[in-house]
Structure 1
Amino acid sequence: MTDSAPDIREQILELADAQCSGTISEVEMETLEGLLTAHPQYRREYLNYVFVHIGLAGTTQSRLLQAPELAEAAASVQPAESISAETERGYLVMLIPIVCSAICLGAVGIFLLMGDFNGLWEPEMVHQKRSQYYFDESAAPPEDVAMVNQMAQARWELLGDTPALTDHFQPGTVKVTSGQVEFAFSGGADIHVASPSLFGFERKDRGTLFSGSVSTQRSDRREPFRLETPGIELIDRGTEYEVSVNEASETFVHVLDGQVEVKARGRLPRFFWNFDQSSTEPVTDQIGNRLIRAGKNVKQVPGLVGTGAMQFNNRPDASLLLGNGGGREVGTGDYSVSTGITIETLVVSDWKTPNAPQTKAPFDYDEIFRKEDGSYRILLSFQNDDKAGITQIPQAGNGPCLSFGLYLSGLGYSELDMP
C-alpha cells in the first residue's frame, strides 16, 4: 500500500504556486481550501511557501528598479514611440509581481479569517483543552501544580487516552517532542524541559524526569523542590542545575550554581505492618509510627511468622484503616508513587468462591490492600466478578482471580488479573 501523504503535499504546493502566479481557477481554489482544512499539518508549509513567493516577487521588483541596463536605456536617445513602448513594458513588468503579491496576501488573509487560526499551531491529533481527571467526590480534587511559563518552538502533549495540549497541569505526564518549554511550578520552581523528554508533574514541589533533560532554577527559594529520576532523588534548596536521563536510565547531574542534595533511590520500604504489638498496645506502622485503626470485625491472633497477625471475618468493617499517607488531596501523600510500587504480603485466605461468576453487586472480594481515591485506586485482592467494565491488561475471562489494579495519571485505572 502506497502512502498518499507526499501526493497531497505536492498537490497543495502546486495549487499554491498557481495561486501566487494568478492562474488559479475557482474550482482549484476550492480544492486548495478543502485540502488545507482536511490536512492541517500542511498549513504551516503552505504559508511559508506563499510568503517565500511574496518575498521573491518583492526582490524581483527591487532588482528591476535598480537594474543598470534600465538606467542606460533611460539615458540613451531613442525615438518617441520606442520610449513610450519601453516605458509601458517596464510598468507592466513591475505591475505583475505586485498584483501576484496582492492576490497571495488576500487569499492568505481570507483563509485565516475563515479558517481555524489556532489549528495552524496545534500538533497533529492534539486538541487544545484543559486536562480532565477523575476523582472521588468525597475528597478534594487535584489542584493545578504547574503551568507553562515560556516556550521556544516547542511541541508537547499531555499523555493519556485523549492526548491534550494544555498550559495548566494537574498531576500527570507530559511528552515534549520539539523545542524547549519552561514550566512554572506553584511551589516556586521553574523547570526547563528540552526535547525529547518525558516529564511527570507529581505535586507543586515535586517532579519526575523519566527520560531526556531538564534544567531548574527557583524563583521562590523558601521551599525545596524535589526531582526524581529512575535512579536518584535530587533536592533543590535554591540552586541551578541540569539533569539528564539516557536510554539506559542512567542519570547525569551538572550543578551550575550552589549545591544540590542527591539521594540514591534505594527502594527502601515506606511502610511496614507486622502486627506484633501486644493486645494492649495500639496497632502502628513500624516505619512511620502511624496509628492503624482496626474495624470491629478484626481481631488479633497468633502470627504466621511473628508474634501477631490480624484475622478478618469477611463482614462489614472487617478492615484496617491506614490513613491517607499524609495527603490532603487526591493523588498525593506517601501512598502515591511515580516510578514504581511493590506490595509484599503474607496471607492465608479463607475465600470461598461461588460456582458461577457474579454479575451484580455485592461482589465477593477478599481484599489484601486497597488505596481508595476514586479512580486513583491501588488494589490487590482476590475477586470474582464480571470485571465491572474495567480495562484488563491482558484480557482475562470472568471467574476467580488475584487482581492487581493500578491508576496511572492520564491513562486511567486498569487491572492485571491472574486466574
Structure 2
Amino acid sequence: MNRTEQIFELADRQFDGTATPDDVARLAELLTNDPVAHSIYLRYSLVHAQLRMTPPALQRLTASAHSDPTLSAQVGTTPIGWKRWSVGVSLATAASIVLVLWISLSNAPRQDLLEHAPDEQFADAAPSNYDNRQPPIGAVGKLEGHDSGPLTLSIAQGETEFASSGGANLRVTGPALFGVNSPEEGVLYNGSVHAMLESPQSRFSVTTSNLRVVDMGTEFQVAMLDDRHIRVQAMHGQVDVQSRVRLPSYYWHFDDREGAASEDAPSISTPLTLGEHAQRVPGIVGHGAIRFDNTPESIVQIDEGMGTEIGDGLMACSSGITIEAMFISEWSGELLDYDEIFRKEDGVYRILLSFQNDDDVGDYDLPEVAPGPCLSFGLHIEQQGYSELDMPLDGRDGRPTVEQLTDGKPHHVVATYDSFSGQKALYIDGKLCFQHQFSVGGLILCGGPAPAVVGNMWRKREPFAGVLDEVALYDFPLTAEEISLHFENAAAGVCYFGADSHGLDAARWKSITLVTAGTQRVFDKLTGLPVDVMIP
C-alpha cells in the first residue's frame, strides 16, 4: 500500500469513528513535514465533511464521479428532489471538488502577524476560523459561520448533482467548472448547469461574466457553447436574463462633505468617518479630495458594507474585483514604510492595495519578487490562500519607479482580478504594468465585519502620505479598454465615466429579456446581448 492509499485508509477510519490511537498516530506521522500529503488529506477531509453535512454548509450535497473503486469510500445521502443518489468519494473526487474555504498548508511564522493579523479586539468579534492555518486533525472541514458553503466543482465528465441551501436542486454536466458562491447564486465557467427550484420561494441565479440568469420560480438550464456564447433554456416558468451594469459598487469622489450624492458629481457613495488629520482639499478630479499627512489619524473609514462573516456584506466580491484610485503620493519608499490606498482587514481574507517595502514579511508575494519598494495588491483566492501581487517599483519591463510615482503629479492606479480568466493585474496611468496568472475559476473570499478604510488601515498603522481621490470599488474586473478610458477622462479632469455621468445608477444588473417555458436563447456573455432570435 503506497503512502496516498495509507492516508485515505486511515482518514476513512477517522471519519467513520473507528480509528484507533495507533491509527491517529500513524496518520499524524504521514502528514508531518510533508506538504503534499497534508494537501491530499486536507482536500479529502474537507470534501468528506461537506458530503456528510446538513446546514450550515450545502444541504444534502451529493456527487457522482468516475473514480478508482479501490480508493472509494461510500457515503450515505438523502433525496434531493429528482432521485436518490449514492456517492463514491475518492482521490479523483477530492481533487475535483475543491472547497474555496482553503486552509493554508504552510507553517505560519510569527512575523506573518506583524502587519497582517487582527489584534485581540477584532479577533474576538471575528469568526474563529479566520486564519485556521494549522487545524488539529479532528477539526478539518468544519465550516462554522459560513452558511453559504462556497465551493468550486471541476467535473471532467459525467454529472454532479447537489442541492443548494437556497432551495435549488442543481445538476452540473461535465466537462464543467462551476462555482457556488452563495446559497442563491452560482458562477458558470464551463459546461452546463440545470436548476430546478423546490418551491416558489426558492431562488437561484447563474452568473457568466457579464450575464446573470435569474430564476422566477422555474426550472432552467444555462450552457456554455464556446468561450463567448451561452444558451439559456427555460423548461418551466421563465427566467430573467440580465446584463451587468459596469459601474462601481462604491465610488468615493470626496466632492461632498457627508459622502452623499451632490448635484454636480456622480455618486455611489456611503457615509464616511474622517480622522482628525484627514483634510479635505481641492480635488484631483472634481471639487474635493482627501489629503493624508502620514500620521495615525489620517484615515477615512467607510461606515457601510460590513457583513457578519466572510462572503457577507455589500463589499463582498467573489468572481472578480477592481480597486481604482487617483493619487498624488509622497511615499518615502523606505524599509518598513507602508502607505495604504484601500484596505478591508478581515484577517487573511483582506482586500489590500498599498505601497510597501517590508523585506518580504510573511512571504505573501505571488509571484516571488525581490524585496524592495513595491505596489501590493492582496486577495484571498480559493486553493491559493491569501497572496499579494507585489509589483517592484524598479523601472524595469515598463514598471514605474518610486521617483516616478512620487513626482508631485496625479497618477491613476487600478488593481483587478478576474476569476473567468485567472488574471490578477496592476495598471498605472492606464497601462498594464504587472500581472500573475491563476487557474480559471478561483473565487475570491472576502467581506466580513471589518470596516473598509481609505488612506490607512483600521488599526491606523499604515497611513498614506499625499492626496487620494476618485476611489472606486467594483465587484467585477474592468477591461483594459475601460481602464484606459478612465485614465484619459481623469487626466482631462472629468469623472472616470465621462463629463455627463451625473447621478450614477447604483443598480448592479439590468434586465435584457425574459426566456419563457419551452424556449431557449443564445447570448454573448461579454456584451450581454442576445445573438439569435427566439428558438422554439
In 2, Cα distance between the equivalents of 1:304 and 1:374? 32
**TM-score between both structures, scaled by the size of structure 2:** 0.48
In 1, Cα distance between the equivalents of 2:215 and 2:327? 41
In 2, Cα distance between the equivalents of 1:331 and 1:153? 28
The alignment partner of 1:382 has SS state of strand
The alignment partner of 1:183 has SS state of strand
Judging changes above 3 Å, is the alpha-carbon distance between structure 1 residues 390 and 266 closer, same or farther for their aligned structure 2 residues? Answer: farther
- Are residue 367 (structure 1) and residue 343 (structure 2) matched? no
Alignment match of 2:363 (pick from 387, 390, 397): 390
In 2, Cα distance between the equivalents of 1:223 and 1:245? 24
In 1, Cα distance between the equivalents of 2:4 and 2:282? 69
In 1, Cα distance between the equivalents of 2:176 and 2:186? 13
Judging changes above 3 Å, is the alpha-carbon distance between structure 1 residues 372 and 38 closer, same or farther for their aligned structure 2 residues? Answer: closer
In 1, Cα distance between the equivalents of 2:151 and 2:295? 37
Deviation string for 1:38-97 (max 9, x for gaps)? 6859x9xxxxxxxxxxxxxxxxxxxxxxxxxxxxxxxxxxxxxxxxxxxxxxxxxxxxxx
- Return 5+ residue gaps in structure 1 as ranges: 1-33, 44-114, 116-123, 133-142, 358-362
Specify the alignment match of 1:335 in structure 2.
Answer: 315
> How much has 1:204 moved relative to structure 2?
1.6
In 2, Cα distance between the equivalents of 1:269 and 1:159? 28
CA contact (8 A) 1:188 1:221 kept: no
Judging changes above 3 Å, is the alpha-carbon distance between structure 1 residues 246 and 396 closer, same or farther for their aligned structure 2 residues? Answer: farther
Which structure has greater helix proportion?
1
Judging changes above 3 Å, is the alpha-carbon distance between structure 1 residues 324 and 244 closer, same or farther for their aligned structure 2 residues? Answer: farther
The alignment partner of 1:369 has SS state of strand
> How much has 1:387 moved relative to structure 2?
2.1
- Return 5+ residue gaps in structure 2 as ranges: 9-22, 24-38, 49-54, 67-92, 106-139, 393-536
Specify the alignment match of 1:282 in structure 2.
Answer: 258
Judging changes above 3 Å, is the alpha-carbon distance between structure 1 residues 383 and 289 closer, same or farther for their aligned structure 2 residues? Answer: closer
- Are residue 229 (structure 1) and residue 188 (structure 2) matched? no
- Are residue 302 (structure 1) and residue 282 (structure 2) matched? yes
In 2, Cα distance between the equivalents of 1:321 and 1:339? 25
Deviation string for 1:209-242 (max 9, x for gaps)? 1111100011143253222112311111211111
Equivalences for 1:10-409 in 2 at 5 Å? Answer: 34=1, 127-130=43-46, 144-153=56-65, 155=93, 156-158=96-98, 170-277=149-256, 281-284=257-260, 287-323=267-303, 325=305, 327-354=307-334, 357=335, 363-409=336-382
Deviation string for 1:224-282 (max 9, x for gaps)? 322211231111121111111244142221111111111113432211111111xxx41
Letter in 1 for 2:381: L
In 2, Cα distance between the equivalents of 1:167 and 1:397? 37
The alignment partner of 1:130 has SS state of helix
In 1, Cα distance between the equivalents of 2:304 and 2:226? 35
CA contact (8 A) 2:103 2:385 kept: no
Judging changes above 3 Å, is the alpha-carbon distance between structure 1 residues 191 and 323 closer, same or farther for their aligned structure 2 residues? Answer: farther
Deviation string for 1:21-42 (max 9, x for gaps)? xxxxxxxxxxxxx4xx56859x
In 2, Cα distance between the equivalents of 1:300 and 1:162? 42
CA contact (8 A) 1:174 1:200 kept: yes
The alignment partner of 2:361 has SS state of helix
Specify the alignment match of 2:387 in structure 1.
Answer: 414
CA contact (8 A) 2:99 2:150 kept: no
In 2, Cα distance between the equivalents of 1:171 and 1:39? 27
The alignment partner of 1:255 has SS state of strand
The alignment partner of 1:187 has SS state of coil
In 2, Cα distance between the equivalents of 1:402 and 1:195? 39
Flag the structure with more relative contact order, 1 or 2, with Cα contacts below 8 A and sequence separation at least 6: 2
Deviation string for 1:108-138 (max 9, x for gaps)? xxxxxxx9xxxxxxxx957531269xxxxxx
CA contact (8 A) 2:248 2:268 kept: no
Percent identity for Structure 1 against Structure 2: 37
**TM-score between both structures, scaled by the size of structure 1:** 0.60
> How much has 1:170 moved relative to structure 2?
2.3
In 1, Cα distance between the equivalents of 2:65 and 2:371? 49
Deviation string for 1:122-175 (max 9, x for gaps)? xx957531269xxxxxxxxxx844244444445442167789998987223221
Judging changes above 3 Å, is the alpha-carbon distance between structure 1 residues 207 and 39 closer, same or farther for their aligned structure 2 residues? Answer: closer
CA contact (8 A) 1:231 1:251 kept: no
Deviation string for 1:267-310 (max 9, x for gaps)? 32211111111xxx412476444212222221111111211101
CA contact (8 A) 1:231 1:249 kept: no
CA contact (8 A) 1:296 1:318 kept: yes
Count of matched residue pairs: 284
CA contact (8 A) 1:150 1:181 kept: yes
In 2, Cα distance between the equivalents of 1:297 and 1:167? 43
Q: Superposition RMSD on alpha carbons, in Å?
A: 3.3
In 2, Cα distance between the equivalents of 1:276 and 1:217? 47
CA contact (8 A) 1:405 1:414 kept: yes
CA contact (8 A) 2:192 2:222 kept: yes
In 1, Cα distance between the equivalents of 2:354 and 2:345? 13
